[in-house]
Chain A
Amino acid sequence: MNELKKTAITLNVNNETYDMVAYPNRTLLEVLRDDLHLTGTKESCGEGVCGSCTVLVDGTPARSCLTLAVAVQGKEITTIEGLHQGEKLHPVQEAFVNHHAIQCGFCSPGMILTAYALLTENPNPTEEEIRRAISGNVCRCTGYAKIVEAVKSLAEKGR
């Protein structure tokens, strides 16, 4: 059997620094959920396709289920828990709530982070651009219609 060595790593998650010990064969998703108890990031496929595990790494959406925890030291990781400001929801979260863009909620953390990253990079996306940007986030409940409406409502605000 192959050797496995623990390493000390430091992770920056939601503006907090965590000094921890990890084995290299731990994905960022596992460390976030099991060690840091940030269970907002979900696993729905394990192969980087469904987008439920989406976190932001230095601001861009990444698949935490395909990322090794040891490989993201020094990066700024944002999970869904890092979006709201205290009691106040982030405008993207508000829009999702107000537009009924959330049904079962399993895809929502990944979807919201993806939408947030899109709007940060492109404050006024077209519907096509919105759909393309969230096509890496699978939703089984909504048919995406109200998710697109929610993001569109923010796009118009940004104008």
Chain B
Amino acid sequence: MEEFSYIGKDMKRIDAACKATGEALFTADLALPRMLVGKILRSPHAHARIMAVDTSKAERLPGVKSVVTARDTGGDKWGVFKYTQDQQFLPTEKVRYVGEEVAAVAAVDEDTALEALSLIDVAYEVLPAVYTIEDALAPGAPQLHDVYPNNINVHVHIDVGDVGKGFADSYLVREDTFTAPEDAYFQGEPYAVAAQFDHAGSLEIWMPNAGPHLKAKPLSNVLKIPLNKVRVRKITIGGAFGGRSEISPADVICALLAKKAQRPVKIVYTREENTVCTRQAHAMITKIKTGVDRDGRVVARDITCHMDGGAYSSTGPIATSVPFLCMEQAYRMENVRYNGYRILTNKPIRGMFRTHGRAFACGVDLQLDRIGEAMGIDPLTMRLRNARQTGDTTPTKSYVASCGLTETIEKAGKTSRWAEKFGKLPPYHGIGIGCNSVQTGFPMGIRGGSQAFIKLNEDGGVTVITGIVDNGQGNDQMIVQIAAEELGLTPDDVQLITADTEVTPSDPGSYSMCETFIGGNAVRLAAQDVRKKLFRIAAAELGVDAENLGAKNRKIFVTNNPQQAMSIAKAVRIALSRNESISGEGSYWPNVDGKREWVKNPYGQLSETFSFGTVICEVKIDSETGQVKVLEVTASQDVGFALNPKVIEGQFEGGIAMGGQGGMLTEYLQWHEGRVLTPTQLGYLVPLAIDMPKINTIIVETIDPKGPYGAKEAGMSVAMSSAQAYCGAISNALGVYFHDYPITPDKILNAIEEKKKRERNE
């Protein structure tokens, strides 16, 4: 392994200081000259026909500068995919959930805007609504969209091998159902949009996003202006977690208000709007049937999953597929069938989430635990026996180039002292394990690749120009480390222009965990391009072949005689003095199967590589209150290579908080007739500092053949498998298996009481 200056080091992040001082500007912090306050009028009904919208009184209110309704849009329907185009951003005919956008105003201040909203009259004809998967599928149920009969939005069907024969050949077969209600991203930063149009017809727009280029094209389509006039700007972003990727109604509405008023407009969501009116995570019912051989190895699996998608498609096909794909990546199985259904209901929209599919993932793992128990095989061994290995091909035909899952299981097992604890803990004290795997990038067609440019200054400093976006996970720092390393500069010499669609070339965004793999590779290639050009110059100057050169600390030197060197700045100036402009370019397109499609053809290389993770959790339960005290969590992930170990640890720790501590113990949305009753910080409970346990982090490096320096992605597999570990631990502590999540104290108490009753009756 080479000796790196910056790669693999725990360097502090370049964006940290400005965030520590409060200087870093988030969207809601922007103040543009003459900026107006935008507010959105929302539907109070879950399902209703819009009979009339009268905005005349609002328009006449002094201080109101623009009002928009569906009349101001083309009425076109948009969708993430061509076959899911079902959403208008201001609906023309009917509203389909409480909170859906109906009209909007921009005014000189917030009070005027709110007053204007109250002056807008909307007449509705209320229609019957459906709020659950069962109700939506029932015969005669009200249909949300004409194009989705029976409210079935997406059906993903995968069938590999011979599942029937597999079950017939199995030593043991189990079937279980697992359920969980909706959860929420609950990003620290509530959603906000700021937009302005100039008289050249160009839009400038800011919003927290998981990829500005993913936002720009839909805006271009909806507003009917070319892409070069849609400038989604770089802004500090307060978390995405799988959200904020595709265009949001607020984006379009803000742009329209700004266009009409010919003044900048800013819309800032409340916490409630962020939870309800931006897409959130699915509720799910998962039925899993698994057959194993005498050694506990899975022979066949048949899974049916129903997801509650809310009123529109959003990233539906992806969400419907991902939990299954994560499972088939993590575990070997020859014969597998999957039927994933995304069902529409009159509730706010759902989409992909960082820890999407707790009912699915916990179901898979818990079932392995139950099967193992019946066969006298402990959960950790069950994972080892079924773990994915390097060189495998998944059932849907993805080749796995690097896989450290077994290593993560073994190391987590050792650190957590699994063998000493499992089966040997006192009552109400338990330990559990979860494993999962995550893609690094999905096939995204023409937007699946990343390109980076590097501009050089005459003093040897550079600016890296890339579409990579940082949601807080540390992507900007990653760019600096890669560029500085490859170019032989120091981090101080590297400036960034990122995530600005006017300047930066296309990049798939952080949405599919590919910024390190795809974006990072593009940056590395661009830096190598510059390096080659500079080395050609230096080789001539120093009288050696280019392959005998190295670069470090702003110098290009001869590798076996480092005293023979010249500064990078000098090399740049030499080029310029020869009237040669000098810059770098690099692009990376993942080697995935371009014909693979979520619904139509769910087979082929899904992403170029995968990360793998294991979490082990130890808990103690208060048998009188059902409260769970989490004693210790050990998390291990195969990240390929740790570009910055501290950053990766931070991702593990945050992932455990979201997926495990929150996702398994306290986080879920409560509803009343399509209305979210728990949208705020007192209703939706995310973990607090006092709740978090001791966390051990173990980084496993398999050096992926294609990742930059071998790196893959940082932390998603841990985030996902945390819930599974928590679920297994609680189940182990009580000797009762939980199939419904989150596992709140009332459920634990009920389980304890039922178990006592059963034991008394025996």
A interface residues (Cβ-Cβ under 8 A, vs B) = 33, 37-47, 49-50, 52, 79-81, 83-84, 89, 93, 96-98, 100, 102-109, 112, 128, 130-132, 134-135, 137-148
Q: Which listed residue (B29, B474, B650, B680) contacts A49, Cβ 8 A?
A: B680
Q: Which listed residue (A41, A43, A142) contacts B654, Cβ 8 A?
A: A142
Give the Cβ gap from A40 to chain B, nearest Cβ, in Å: 2
Give the Cβ gap from B115 to chain A, nearest Cβ, in Å: 10
The contact string, 1 if C-beta is below 8 Å from chain A, for chain B 636-672, is 0000000000110110011111100100000000000
Interface stretch of the complex, out of B8-16, B226-234, B520-528, B592-600: B8-16
**In the assembly, what is the distance between CA of A37 and CA of B239, in Å?**
23
B6 adjacent to chain A (CB < 8 Å): no
21 A-B pairs in the complex with CB atoms less than 8 angstroms apart: A37-B31, A39-B31, A44-B271, A52-B188, A89-B20, A100-B12, A102-B13, A103-B474, A104-B187, A104-B188, A104-B236, A105-B18, A105-B19, A106-B188, A108-B22, A140-B187, A141-B239, A141-B473, A142-B653, A143-B657, A143-B687
Tell me which residues from 1 to 58 in chain B have a Cβ below 8 Å from any Cβ of chain A: 10, 12-13, 15-26, 28-29, 31
Give chain A residues whose Cβ lies under 8 Å from the Cβ of B474: 103
Give the Cβ gap from B511 to chain A, nearest Cβ, in Å: 16
Give the Cβ gap from B328 to chain A, nearest Cβ, in Å: 28
Give the Cβ gap from B474 to chain A, nearest Cβ, in Å: 7
Tell me which residues from 164 to 191 in chain B have a Cβ below 8 Å from any Cβ of chain A: 186-190
Give the Cβ gap from B382 to chain A, nearest Cβ, in Å: 27
Give the Cβ gap from B527 to chain A, nearest Cβ, in Å: 24
Closest 10 CB pairs of A and B: A40-B22, A104-B472, A105-B19, A143-B653, A106-B238, A143-B657, A106-B188, A39-B29, A80-B22, A49-B681
Q: Which listed residue (A41, A98, A135, A138) contacts B22, Cβ 8 A?
A: A41
**In the assembly, what is the distance between CA of A84 and CA of B655, in Å?**
31
Give chain B residues whose Cβ lies under 8 Å from the Cβ of A108: 19-20, 22
A-B pair count, CB < 8 Å, reads 176
Q: Is the CB of B650 within 8 A of A103?
A: yes
Q: Which listed residue (A105, A130, A142, A145) contacts B236, Cβ 8 A?
A: A105
B682 adjacent to chain A (CB < 8 Å): yes
**In the assembly, what is the distance between CA of A83 and CA of B19, in Å?**
13
B471 adjacent to chain A (CB < 8 Å): yes
Q: Is the CB of A131 within 8 A of B25?
A: no
Q: Is the CB of B21 within 8 A of A140?
A: no
Give chain B residues whose Cβ lies under 8 Å from the Cβ of A39: 22, 25, 28-29, 31
Give chain B residues whose Cβ lies under 8 Å from the Cβ of A139: 188, 689
Give the Cβ gap from B662 to chain A, nearest Cβ, in Å: 9
B119 adjacent to chain A (CB < 8 Å): no
Give chain A residues whose Cβ lies under 8 Å from the Cβ of B548: none
Give the Cβ gap from A71 to chain B, nearest Cβ, in Å: 20
Give the Cβ gap from A25 to chain B, nearest Cβ, in Å: 9
Give the Cβ gap from B754 to chain A, nearest Cβ, in Å: 33
Given contacts A97-B16, A128-B690, A141-B650, 18 further A-B contacts (CB under 8 A): A33-B29, A42-B189, A43-B268, A45-B271, A47-B680, A81-B22, A89-B17, A89-B21, A102-B13, A104-B239, A130-B689, A132-B690, A138-B188, A140-B187, A141-B188, A144-B657, A144-B692, A146-B653
